[in-house]
């Protein structure tokens, strides 16, 4: 058996110890010099320049250098010498990803070319790679001057279409169906009974066609809403639109019928009203902020109306009312009703939401007239700068909204600042969305997973023309006018 055979790509097994000691001695004798690979420093030993590295031996699917396989084949050849080993250095998105030593006698030959398949699945990204050879007679060669490059693109699954159940159901054992997405391998199913979570779980399903999931134990007299979102190697898809059903029971009291609010409203202290339900002694009202998933109102009243005791942030909401009496001893929930709080007349509305960590993120808008809209200077609607921040959320989730009501000539610059010191802005799940006066979504993106700094420069906007320039950059200093 060859004592130098690669048994682990990182040389983690004892069989490579002899080869590592020998190669280390050769590198020291060859007077190492510094080199840069795609911005990453490596060691370049020796003076040989024999390696030539073409593009990966795969067929492009989108454009030159773009592939959709996660285990590409690397093709290479040496013009005038015969190494016994080749080192492969791989960068991903400008950062060192991995390196390998590969033994030539284990490779497939295609004429003069050697073919090597990477022994793992690579994530999506932009890649550059270099190679250099080694043998016991000539030592260690140089890295190739021009790197091979390729991009791995894996589509993100699209939001799925729900099929059933929908509407009134008489059985408590149900089959949930939806249309599969070819790029998805898992689906998360979320079911709410009224305002309470009843079920949430991931299920492995691949391929196309109709997905089917059988569940039991649904409660008579209850109303349920359900959603599905897909996941695949390309990432996490969006939630589907909601579908609602109820389990009918003749023994239960009637469900309340919601009246208002619904649709677009301006008041941040809306009056909630509904038709009285027979045999109801009390009503529970539950309002959920759909942008954050958090409850906004949750309380009990005896009458068939209630008013929010505090201003609700601008955003999207869903609400329910449940009827209760001491004889039945359980709550019968209404169908849900949706509404959106937004001051009419704005040109653009920018919404920031995030998760629990970091606790405090802040919206900042630099206005062409020199104004700076943020928590300490929230602006105004009817006077300069004709833009306003609604709330300063310091306990996580948001939303924070900045609305622009009148456009100045020039560029509006929007960024997010991590005010609290817990966690990192990069990879925090923060999301920014901007809509115009007609409700068209101009931008909807999550903060990048990588980057250093406490400022996320999201986009620049010409509010007169509607031209939006995506920046999407994590940085260490705040952007300026």
Domain range for 188 is 162-247
> What does the block give as tokens for 197?
């979570």
206-244 b/e with 16+ CB inside 10 Å = b?
Answer: eeeeebebebeebebbbbbbbbbbbbbbbeebeebeebe
| Residue 72 belongs to a domain | yes
111 and 32 share a domain?
Answer: yes
Same-domain pairing of 203 and 271 = no
- Supply 346's token pair: 């704005």
Cβ atoms of 278 and 254 closer than 8 Å: yes
Is 426 a member of any domain? yes
Residue 174's beta-bridge partner residues? 215
Residue 347 and residue 465: Cα distance in Å, rounded? Answer: 11
CATH of the domain at 440: 2.60.60.30
Spell out where 354-397 has E strands: 361-366, 372-373, 379-380, 387-389
Q: Are residues 130 and 21 in the same domain?
A: yes
- Mapping DSSP to helix (H, G, I), strand (E, B) and coil, where does residue 28 land? helix
- Rounded to whole angstroms, how far apart are CA atoms 402 and 317? 18
Residue found by looking up tokens 């592939």 in the block:
67
Tokens of 13: 């097994």
Q: Does residue 334 share a domain with residue 444?
A: no
* Domain match, 337 and 369 both: no
Identify whether residues 176 and 114 lie together within a single domain. no
Query: Is residue 70 located within the same domain as residue 139?
Result: yes
- Give me the pLDDT at residue 265, please: 80
Quick one: 147 and 191 in the same domain?
no
**Domain-ending residue, one of 84, 117, 152:** 152
- CATH number for the domain spanning 79: value is 2.60.40.10
Instruction: Specify if 5 maps to a domain.
Output: no
Using CA atoms, how far apart are residues 48 and 158, in angstroms rounded to an integer? 50
User: Within a domain: residue 194?
Assistant: yes
| Res 155: pLDDT | 85
CA distances from 242 to 130, 161, 198, 284, 316 (A): 49, 10, 15, 22, 14
> Which helix or strand (DSSP H or E) is residue 17 part of?
helix 17-29
Task: Assess whether 471 and 353 both reside in one domain.
Answer: yes
Residue 361 CA: distances (Å) to CA of 28, 232, 315, 452, 473: 50, 30, 17, 16, 16
Q: What is the pTM of this model?
A: 0.36
Residues 454, 373, single domain; the answer is: yes
Does residue 357 sit in the same domain as residue 395?
Answer: yes
Report if residue 442 sits inside a domain.
Answer: yes
CB 190 within 8 A of CB 203: no
- Residue finishing a domain among 341, 369, 387: 341
Q: How far apart are CA 371 and CA 75, in angstroms?
A: 56
Closest CA to 300 of 278, 318, 322, 279: 322
The reply to whether 280 and 223 lie within a common domain is no
Given this model, what pLDDT does residue 439 score? 75
206's tokens: 């691949």
Final residue belonging to a domain, choices 316, 341, 366? 341
Tens-digit pLDDT profile for the chain (481 aa)? Answer: 222 222 223 333 333 333 333 333 222 222 222 333 333 333 333 333 333 333 333 322 223 377 778 888 888 888 777 889 999 999 999 999 999 999 999 898 888 888 899 988 888 888 988 888 898 888 888 888 788 888 888 888 999 999 999 998 878 899 999 999 999 999 999 999 988 999 999 999 999 999 999 999 998 788 999 999 999 988 899 999 999 999 876 455 578 999 989 887 877 888 999 998 887 888 999 999 887 888 999 999 999 999 888 888 877 899 999 998 776 667 889 989 988 886 567 889 999 999 989 999 999 999 999 999 999 999 988 789 999 998 888 888 888 999 999 999 999 999 999 999 999 999 899 999 998 887 788 999 999 999 999 999 999 999 999 999 999 999 999 999 9
Domain membership of residue 8 (yes or no) is: no
Does 330 fall in a domain? yes
Looking at the domain assignment, is residue 354 inside a domain? yes
């Amino acid at each position: 058996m060859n004592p130098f055979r690669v048994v682990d790509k990182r040389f983690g097994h004892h069989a490579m110890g002899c080869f590592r000691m020998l190669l280390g001695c050769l590198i020291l004798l060859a007077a190492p010099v510094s080199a840069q690979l795609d911005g990453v420093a490596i060691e370049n030993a020796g003076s040989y320049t024999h390696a030539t590295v073409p593009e990966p031996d795969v067929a492009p699917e989108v454009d030159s250098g773009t592939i959709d396989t996660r285990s590409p084949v690397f093709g290479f050849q040496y013009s005038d010498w015969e190494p016994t080993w080749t080192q492969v250095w791989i960068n991903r998105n400008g950062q060192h990803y991995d390196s390998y030593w590969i033994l030539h006698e284990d490779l497939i030959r295609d004429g003069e070319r050697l073919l090597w398949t990477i022994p793992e699945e690579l994530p999506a990204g932009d890649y550059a790679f270099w190679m250099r050879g080694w043998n016991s007679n000539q030592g260690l060669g140089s890295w190739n001057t021009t790197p091979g490059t390729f991009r791995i693109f894996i589509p993100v699954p699209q939001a799925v279409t729900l099929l059933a159940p929908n509407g009134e159901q008489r059985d408590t054992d149900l089959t949930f169906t939806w249309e599969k997405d070819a790029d998805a391998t898992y689906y998360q199913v979320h079911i709410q009974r009224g305002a309470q979570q009843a079920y949430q779980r991931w299920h492995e399903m691949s391929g196309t066609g109709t997905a089917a999931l059988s569940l039991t134990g649904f409660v008579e007299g209850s109303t349920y809403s359900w959603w599905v979102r897909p996941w695949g190697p390309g990432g996490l898809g969006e939630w589907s639109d909601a579908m609602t059903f109820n389990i009918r029971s003749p023994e239960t009291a009637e469900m309340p019928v919601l009246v208002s609010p619904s649709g677009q409203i301006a008041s941040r202290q809306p009056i909630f009203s509904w038709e009285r339900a027979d045999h109801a002694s009390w009503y529970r009202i539950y309002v959920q902020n759909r942008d954050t998933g958090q409850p906004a109102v949750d309380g009990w009243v005896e009458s068939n109306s209630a008013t929010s005791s505090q201003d609700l942030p601008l955003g999207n909401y869903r609400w329910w009312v449940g009827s209760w009496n001491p004889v039945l001893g359980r709550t019968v929930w209404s169908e849900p009703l949706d509404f959106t709080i937004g001051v009419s007349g704005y040109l653009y509305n920018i919404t920031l939401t995030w998760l629990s960590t970091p606790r405090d993120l802040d919206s900042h808008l630099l206005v062409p007239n020199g104004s700076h809209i943020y928590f300490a200077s929230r602006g105004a609607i009817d006077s300069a700068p004709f833009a306003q921040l609604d709330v300063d959320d310091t306990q996580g989730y948001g939303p924070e909204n900045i609305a622009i009501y009148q456009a100045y000539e020039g560029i509006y610059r929007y960024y997010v600042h991590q005010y609290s010191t817990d966690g990192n802005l990069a990879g925090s799940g923060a999301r920014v969305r901007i809509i115009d006066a007609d409700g068209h979504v101009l931008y909807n993106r999550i903060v990048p997973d990588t980057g250093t700094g406490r400022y996320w420069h999201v986009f620049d906007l010409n509010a007169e023309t509607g031209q939006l320039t995506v920046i999407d950059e994590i940085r260490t200093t705040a952007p300026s006018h």
